[in-house]
């Protein structure tokens, strides 16, 4: 260890003038001198390199977070050392001075050396110095007097330590510089301790930034509320959900907004989490349907507040509709026809698809009314929304109103405690398809008419109406005009639904479509079963055209499927048509009482399951029985569905 400034001066002179190396020089200083010599640093120079204003502006912007965190720490350091003629400096990773607090007594000397904000103090520019050498070796260092490579710096002492981020990368350094006669080992300790403090603050800031990013990346709205029902923080999704400014949100009376929730009792006292799958937030004149989760914030075993997670009901229902299959899979391209009237019908449907008027589709069962409705939806402006099909004939009479319009919590005995949206709400932003509309009970028709007229719906037990933005398509296989005359269907509802009327012809009135559709169904079956392709015989084609399809396209499809799966040969002939099978029955088959009713029923279900390839729902449709009935019978007769 060198004890005197004069000894340092002699060792420096021997190195720069005689290239002699003293064994007394510290190795870290010697290595720095060698680097300076190799870089041709002028040892009689040593003034800082001044950056352009534009470059300095870029540096300050790039390091604004480091400056923001280090500035108060720099001020604290200066207050400790200001009586000892020291200045405090912060640099970036390249040794550029980006923040300084200068001691007034030594400011003139700093100016002479360009030791000020906006100058470079790395080793290549000014030789060995605490800033440049610290950044070169990545370690804290104190450089005293003639240990500096440049003669101009011999009157100074400086201590510096590198500042690293959470990944260990050097992002700058902190430096204390003063006159050499004021050298003190405590300055080195102050710098090292202060850098550790800066690094901790940087780590905390990085953590908060990560939390902020996570907080704001959540697609749901978030509110952090303290025990006094004051909003502490929100994420950037919430203003979009509430359609309010940030200032308006922070002014919300949270007690009033959550007056139906037992926050004090259930959360602050019982520490429970609360979840509502269907909740309406009342904020002034705004009503927001949402899914609401409320969880307590516990710190040091105390409840500090709550976190509210708010998911838009509209968005959630859209996602649920997709998962549940509430979407239209068919387009006009899926409608196969050679019939002139059908082609005209399709062109009409395409034209009206872009409008939002109500449509009534008429046609016998099996003609493809839902196929046409799905095609209209997919060609409409609301095709990105849900397609909700309702079979009105399948709704129990006592549940029609709640299924269609929904209900509020506590509306009736057995209701879900948080209420339930109806099918009209689920269809919001899309299309609702009311199939078999003629089956709607007369007492429900008045409420349905109001929904169609106002595009608003009020849940059972509700006190206000919810706006709807939906396309309404109805369908029937009955003659509603006659039912209007018989007063079993409301006249005003009929005309409200029948703005545009589309009547699908039965298959028997368009025989040219029979063979076209049969070939299409056969092609689809062959694609599903590529290992066993089949084709129709000439006799099959001839006979299939003359058959009367009371079930229309649905029956034709079932007929083709049945023949395909029963026929083990490559050629499907006319013997596999239903009427041919009946005519070719054996005497044993013709005996009316050789089998019990239960055996016949069991065999019918097994045949239907073979035709449907194990699809129980489709088998039930073949047999014209409900799903509940077929499942009960399968269990009763112990029938395998595999």
- What's the whole-model pTM score? 0.57
**Alpha-carbon distances of 528 from 28, 98, 222, rounded to whole Å:** 78, 71, 48
SS3 474: strand
Residue pair 448/432 in contact (Cβ under 8 Å)? The answer is no
Assigned domain for 571 exists: no
Which residue, 210, 236, 267, sits at the end of a domain?
Answer: 210
- Compute the distance between CA of residue 410 and CA of residue 408 in angstroms, rounded to an integer: 6
State the CATH number of the domain containing residue 593: 1.10.10
Q: How many domains does the chain have?
A: 4
Max distance between CA atoms of the chain, in angstroms, equals: 130
Q: 34 lies in a domain? A: yes
73 and 147 part of one domain: yes
Assess whether 108 and 241 both reside in one domain: no
DSSP states of 290-308: EEEEEEEEEETTEEEEEEE
Q: Which of 396, 402, 490 is nearest to 438 (CA)?
A: 490
Question: Where are any strands of DSSP class E within 459-605?
Answer: 466-467, 471-476, 500-503, 535-536, 571-572
What is d(CA 204, CA 508) in angstroms, rounded to the nearest whole number?
77
571-572 and 535-536: which strand pairing?
parallel
> Whole-angstrom Cα distance, residue 420 to residue 402?
8
d(CA 55, CA 32): 28
Structure tokens at 53: 């204003």
In a domain, 222, yes or no: yes
Q: Tell me, yes or no, whether 127 and 21 share the same domain.
A: yes
Looking at 178, 210, 242, the residue that finishes a domain is 210
Q: What is the CATH number of the domain that holds 283?
A: 3.30.450.20
Residues in the chain, overall count: 642
| Rounded distance between C-alpha atoms, residue 310 and residue 293, angstroms | 7
SS3 167: coil
Pair of tokens at residue 426: 């689920």
In a domain, 629, yes or no: yes
Q: Which residues pair with 473 in a beta bridge?
A: 359, 433
Gap between the Cα atoms of 532 and 526, Å rounded: 7
Question: Are residues 205 and 224 located together in one domain of the fold?
Answer: no
Q: What is the pLDDT of residue 320?
A: 55
- Residue 435's alpha-carbon distances to 14, 72, 624, in angstroms, are 103, 71, 17
Measured CA to CA, the distance from residue 44 to residue 28 in angstroms comes to 21
The DSSP secondary-structure symbol of 186 reads H
Domain finish residue from 485, 505, 525: 505
Contact present, 449 and 496 (Cβ < 8 Å): yes
Question: What dihedral do alpha carbons 552, 555, 561, 566 form, nearest 10°?
Answer: -140
Residues 200 and 283 both lie in one domain: no
How far is 248 from 48, CA to CA, in rounded Å?
52
Q: What is the CATH number of the domain that holds 366?
A: 3.40.50.300
164 and 26 together in one domain: yes
Radius of gyration of the chain (CA): 42
- Strand stretches in 57-155, DSSP E: 86-92, 97-101, 119-120, 141-144
In terms of Cβ atoms closer than 10 Å to its own Cβ (0-12, 13-18, 19+), residue 8 is buried
Evaluate whether residue 564 is within a structural domain: no
Angle among Cα 166, 167, 171 to the nearest 5 degrees reads 80
Rounded Cα–Cα distance for residues 121 and 315 (Å): 57
Tokens 């080992």 map to which residue? 185
What pLDDT score was predicted for residue 583?
44
Residue 552 lies in a domain: no
Assess whether 302 and 336 both reside in one domain.
no
Same domain for 391 and 249: no
Residue 115 located in a structural domain: yes
Determine, yes or no, domain membership for 136: yes
The helix (run of H) or strand (run of E) holding residue 399 is: none
Residues 174, 260, single domain; the answer is no
Same domain, 116 and 44: yes
Nearest to 172 by CA among 246, 253, 58, 67: 67
Give strand ranges (E) for 93-214. Answer: 97-101, 119-120, 141-144, 156-164, 170-179
- CATH number of the CATH domain containing 29: 3.30.450.40
Rounded Cα distance between 274 and 264, Å, is 12
Same-domain status, 38 and 175: yes
**Per-residue pLDDT, 2:** 45
| Domain encompassing residue 136 | 5-210
342 & 299 share domain: no
Alpha carbon separation from 108 to 104, 114, 115 (Å, rounded): 8, 10, 10
Compute mean pLDDT per 10 residues along the chain, 642 residues long, and list them: 71 90 93 94 90 94 93 91 87 95 88 92 94 96 94 92 93 93 85 94 84 79 92 90 91 89 88 83 82 88 90 67 65 93 94 91 92 94 89 85 84 68 87 92 90 88 84 92 89 92 93 92 91 90 87 91 89 82 41 60 82 79 76 84 71
How far apart CA 209 and CA 215 sit, in angstroms, is 9
Q: What is the pLDDT of residue 274?
A: 87
DSSP class of residue 263 equals I
- Is residue 283 within 8 A of residue 290, CB to CB? The reply is no
């Amino acid at each position: 260890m060198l004890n005197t400034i004069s000894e340092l001066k002699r060792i420096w002179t021997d190195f720069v003038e005689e290239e002699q190396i003293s064994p007394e020089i510290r190795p870290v200083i010697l290595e720095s001198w060698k680097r300076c010599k190799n870089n041709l640093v002028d040892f009689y120079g040593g003034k800082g390199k001044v950056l352009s204003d534009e470059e300095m502006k870029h540096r300050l912007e790039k390091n604004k977070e480091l400056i923001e965190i280090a500035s108060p720490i720099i001020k604290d350091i200066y207050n400790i050392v200001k009586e000892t003629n020291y200045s405090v400096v912060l640099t970036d990773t390249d040794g550029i001075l980006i923040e300084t607090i200068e001691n007034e007594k030594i400011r003139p000397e700093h100016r002479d050396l360009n030791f000020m904000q906006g100058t470079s103090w790395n080793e290549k520019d000014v030789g060995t110095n605490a800033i440049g050498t610290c950044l070169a070796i990545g370690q804290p260092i104190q450089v005293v007097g003639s240990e500096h490579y440049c003669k101009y710096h011999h009157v100074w002492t400086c201590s510096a330590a590198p500042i690293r981020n959470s990944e260990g990368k050097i992002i700058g350094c902190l430096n204390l510089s003063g006159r050499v006669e004021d050298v003190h080992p405590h300055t080195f300790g102050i710098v090292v301790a202060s850098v550790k403090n800066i690094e901790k603050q940087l780590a905390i800031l990085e953590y908060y930034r990560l939390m902020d990013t996570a907080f704001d990346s959540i697609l749901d709205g978030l509110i952090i509320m303290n025990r006094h029902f004051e909003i502490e923080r929100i994420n950037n999704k919430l203003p979009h959900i509430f359609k309010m400014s940030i200032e308006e949100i922070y002014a919300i009376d949270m007690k009033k907004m959550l007056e139906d929730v037992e926050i004090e009792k259930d959360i602050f006292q019982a520490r429970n989490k609360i979840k509502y799958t269907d909740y309406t937030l009342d904020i002034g004149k705004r009503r927001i349907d949402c899914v609401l989760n409320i969880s307590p914030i516990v710190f040091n075993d105390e409840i500090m507040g709550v976190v509210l997670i708010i998911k838009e009901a509209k968005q959630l229902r859209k996602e649920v509709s997709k998962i549940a299959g509430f979407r239209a899979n068919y387009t006009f391209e899926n409608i196969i026809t050679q019939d002139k009237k059908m082609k005209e019908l399709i062109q009409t449907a395409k034209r009206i698809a872009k409008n939002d008027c109500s449509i009534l589709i008429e046609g016998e069962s099996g003609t493809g009314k839902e196929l046409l409705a799905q095609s209209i939806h997919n060609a409409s402006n609301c095709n990105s929304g849900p397609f909700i099909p309702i079979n009105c004939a399948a709704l129990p009479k006592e549940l029609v109103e709640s299924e269609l319009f929904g209900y509020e919590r506590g509306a009736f005995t057995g209701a879900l405690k948080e209420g339930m949206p109806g099918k009209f709400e689920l269809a919001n932003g899309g299309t609702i398809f009311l199939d078999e509309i003629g089956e709607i009970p007369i007492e429900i028709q008045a409420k349905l008419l109001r929904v169609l007229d106002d595009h608003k719906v009020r849940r059972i037990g509700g006190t206000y109406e919810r706006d709807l933005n939906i396309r309404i398509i109805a369908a029937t296989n009955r003659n509603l005009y006659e039912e209007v005359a018989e007063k079993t269907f409301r006249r005003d509802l009929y005309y409200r639904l029948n703005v545009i009327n589309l009547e699908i012809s039965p298959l028997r009135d368009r025989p040219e479509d029979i063979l076209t559709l049969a070939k299409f169904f056969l092609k689809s079956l062959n694609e599903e079963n590529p290992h066993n392709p089949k084709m129709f015989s000439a006799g099959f084609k001839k006979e299939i055209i003359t058959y009367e399809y009371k079930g229309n396209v649905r029956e034709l499809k079932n007929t083709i499927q049945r023949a395909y799966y029963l026929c083990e040969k490559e050629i499907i002939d006319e013997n596999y048509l239903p009427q041919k099978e009946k005519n070719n029955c054996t005497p044993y088959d013709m005996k009316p009482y050789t089998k019990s009713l239960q055996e016949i029923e069991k065999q019918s279900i097994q045949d239907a399951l073979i035709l449907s390839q194990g699809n129980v729902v489709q088998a039930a449709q073949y047999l014209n029985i409900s799903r509940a009935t077929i499942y009960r019978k399968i269990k009763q007769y112990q029938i395998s569905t595999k």
